[in-house]
Amino acid sequence: MTRLVQATGETEAKAKSELKTALRDRSRPAGGEVITSDSTVAELLDYWLDEVDRSDRSSSTKSYYRRAVEKAIKPGLAEVRLHEATTGRIEVFLKSLAAPSAVRDSRTVLRQAFALAARHDAVQHNPVSDTSKPPASMRRAKALTVAEVKLLRQRVKAWQDEQKSGPKRAYDLAEILDVMIGTGSRIGEVLALRWVDVDVTEAGTRVTIAGTVVEVGGRGVERQDHTKTQAGHRTVLVPTFTAEAIERQREREVPSALGLLFPTRTGRPRSPSNVRTAWRKVRGDEFSWVKPHDFRKTVGTMVERELGLSAASAQLGHSGTAVTERHYIERASLGPDVRATLDKLAP
């Protein structure tokens, strides 16, 4: 349908200017009652976070989104109005972020938030969809050797023993490390273990991975009654050194209302960040690349070498082998010994 648009002004030039403004405003989405084209990006993000909080997404996901909003996006885009948030402007903002992880996180959040704005008719289209996709992380899985694991164990013990007075710092870091290695679990899953998840039998000690610990913005640390994925809920038979570490921790009799193996001194769930901080003090400069998650990759690689990819995937709690192979198995630098096969091609 063709419509006549008119504007008036004191002069011809002013009338033309008013007409251009009227045409521009006709094409600009009006928006809903809450989010409009004149709303700021900060207002959109707050509204979107409220919807996320009311959703059934996990506490860790909600905290992840909120950190990206508060630490990365709002400092750069808070006062920009939605009708000013063009693809080019958002592209410039994303390129200004230093860390690749911040780029990926910010783009993920902005794409979802502007999809909400589009549903409210506050923008004509999602301006984030056409921004450049950040490159995928190229960090390949790297496993520790047996000798390196032994050396790091020694460093943990030496670091704990060198303190002569005051409350013992990370007094059970060695036991946390041995449970991580013996189960191949994530650090949050180990910190969420309860004594009811440990079953000591004549056949050996079984540990059920049934939850995880997450840091929730404004509420501290909480234990979730489910793992990161449905396949992550699993029971594993642990090696002797892990069973012994669990018994050493049992003898400490650290009180915990939740019955946790590794609570804080006050019995609360322990923060994974605090464990990572202690680990950075222990590992040494030559092992600066080693994070707690790399022990999980070490377990995956060793099990895959000895028992195959399917066994490694089951031990790590993956729903399939694709993720295990892509992110948790160190690629062998030495090819298999196929001389007997290739000798058949000899002249």
| DSSP string across 30-66 | -B-SSSBTTSBHHHHHHHHHHHHHHSS--HHHHHHHH
**Residue 5 near residue 21 (C-beta atoms within 8 A):** no
What is the predicted pLDDT for the residue at 26?
A: 65
106 and 163 in one domain? no
Domain with 243, as residue range(s), is 146-327
- Percent of the chain's residues with pLDDT above 70: 92
Statement: residue 184 has pLDDT above 80: yes
What is the predicted pLDDT for the residue at 59?
A: 76
Half-sphere exposure of 180 (CA within 13 A, CB side): 23
275 and 176 in one domain? yes
In the structure, what pLDDT confidence band is assigned to residue 1 with cuts at 50, 70 and 90? Answer: low
293 domain residue, yes or no: yes
pLDDT digits (tens, 9 = 90+) for 137-158: 656 788 999 999 999 999 998 8
In the structure, what pLDDT confidence band is assigned to residue 230 with cuts at 50, 70 and 90? Answer: confident
State the DSSP H helix or E strand holding residue 208, giving kind and residue range, or none if neither: strand 204-209
Most confident of 133-137, 274-278, 319-323: 274-278
Entry pTM: 0.70
Statement: residue 28 has pLDDT above 60: no
269 and 179 in one domain? yes
229 and 177 in one domain? yes
167 and 275 in one domain? yes
257 and 191 in one domain? yes
Q: Which CATH number do you get for residue 82? A: 1.10.150.130
Domain termination residue (choose one: 103, 119, 135)? 119
How many domains, the chain?
Answer: 2
195 and 86 in one domain? no
Q: Which CATH number do you get for residue 204? A: 1.10.443.10
- The arithmetic mean of pLDDT across residues 123-127, rounded, is 92
166 and 63 in one domain? no
What is the predicted pLDDT for the residue at 141?
A: 82
126 domain residue, yes or no: no
Of 108-117, 142-151, 240-249, 317-326, which gets the smallest average pLDDT? Answer: 317-326
Counting beta carbons within 10 angstroms of the beta carbon of residue 335, is it exposed (0 to 12), middle (13 to 18) or buried (19 or more)? exposed
pLDDT digits (tens, 9 = 90+) for 50-107: 999 999 887 778 888 998 999 999 999 999 999 999 999 999 999 999 888 899 999 9
- Within 10 angstroms of residue 298's Cβ, the number of other Cβ atoms is 24
- The arithmetic mean of pLDDT across residues 278-287, rounded, is 91
In the structure, what pLDDT confidence band is assigned to residue 218 with cuts at 50, 70 and 90? Answer: low
334 domain residue, yes or no: no
- Percent of the chain's residues with pLDDT above 90: 58
What is the predicted pLDDT for the residue at 166?
A: 66
322 domain residue, yes or no: yes
Statement: residue 266 has pLDDT above 90: no
5 domain residue, yes or no: no
Give the 3-state secondary structure of residue 63: helix
